[in-house]
Amino acid sequence: MTTPTTTVVVPLKPPAAGKSRLASAVGALRPQLALAFALDTVAAARRCPAVTRVVAVCDDEQAAAQLALAGAVVVPDAPAAGLNAALEHGVRYARAVLGAGAVAAMSADLPALRPAELARVLGAASAHPRAFLADTQGVGTTLLSAAAGVPLLPVFGGQSRAAHAASGAVELRLDDVASVRRDVDTGADLQVALALGAGRHTLTTLGLMQATAYTYSPDSRSGQVLLDDGTPLPFDSAAFDAGGLRLLRPGQRVRIETEGAGTDRRITLITLQTF
Ligand X SMILES: C=C(OP(=O)(O)O)C(=O)O
Ligand Y SMILES: Nc1nc2c(ncn2[C@@H]2O[C@H](COP(=O)(O)OP(=O)(O)OP(=O)(O)O)[C@@H](O)[C@H]2O)c(=O)[nH]1
Binding mask 126-165 for ligand Y (x = CB under 6 A): ----------------------------------------
Distance, in Å, from the CA atom of 38 to the CA atom of 61, rounded to the nearest integer, reads 14
CB nearer ligand Y, residue 199 or residue 243:
199
Per CB under 6 A, the segment of 80-88, 172-180, 245-253, 264-272 that binds ligand Y is 80-88
> Annotated binding residue at 167?
no
Shortest Cβ 81–ligand Y spacing (Å): 7
Binding mask 183-212 for ligand X (x = CB under 6 A): x-x---------------------------
Distance, in Å, from the CA atom of 72 to the CA atom of 54, rounded to the nearest integer, reads 5
Beta bridge partners of 215: 224
Binding mask 165-204 for ligand Y (x = CB under 6 A): --------------------x-------------------
Shortest Cβ 183–ligand X spacing (Å): 5
Collapsing DSSP to helix, strand or coil, 20 comes out as: helix
Please, how many CA atoms are within 13 Å of residue 163, restricted to the half-sphere of its CB?
A: 14
Signed CA dihedral, 252, 255, 256, 262: sign only: positive
Residue 40 contact partner, candidates ligand X, ligand Y, none, CB within 5 to 8 A by sort of partner = none
Distance, in Å, from the CA atom of 174 to the CA atom of 104, rounded to the nearest integer, reads 16
> Annotated binding residue at 141?
yes
Q: Which helix (H) or strand (E) holds 165?
A: helix 160-166
Contact by Cβ (8 Å): 88, 156: no
Distance, in Å, from the CA atom of 15 to the CA atom of 31, rounded to the nearest integer, reads 5
Per CB under 6 A, the segment of 94-102, 104-112, 197-205, 228-236 that binds ligand Y is 104-112
Per CB under 6 A, the segment of 12-20, 44-52, 193-201, 205-213 that binds ligand Y is 12-20
Contact by Cβ (8 Å): 209, 203: yes
Collapsing DSSP to helix, strand or coil, 43 comes out as: helix
Per CB under 6 A, the segment of 11-19, 91-99, 192-200, 215-223 that binds ligand Y is 11-19
**Under the criterion CB under 6 A, does residue 160 sit at the interface with ligand X?**
yes
Question: Starting at the edge strand that comes first in sequence, how are the strands of the sheet with 266-272 ordered?
Answer: 232-236, 222-227, 208-217, 253-259, 266-272
Contact by Cβ (8 Å): 121, 182: no
**Under the criterion CB under 6 A, does residue 73 sit at the interface with ligand Y?**
no
By CB under 6 A, name the binding residues for ligand Y. 11-13, 18-21, 34, 57-58, 77, 82-83, 86, 107-109, 185
> Which residue numbers belong to the known binding site?
141, 157, 160
Kindly list the residues in this chain that would bind ligand X in the complex (CB under 6 A): 83, 135, 140-141, 156-157, 160, 183, 185
Binding residues for phosphoenolpyruvate: 141, 157, 160
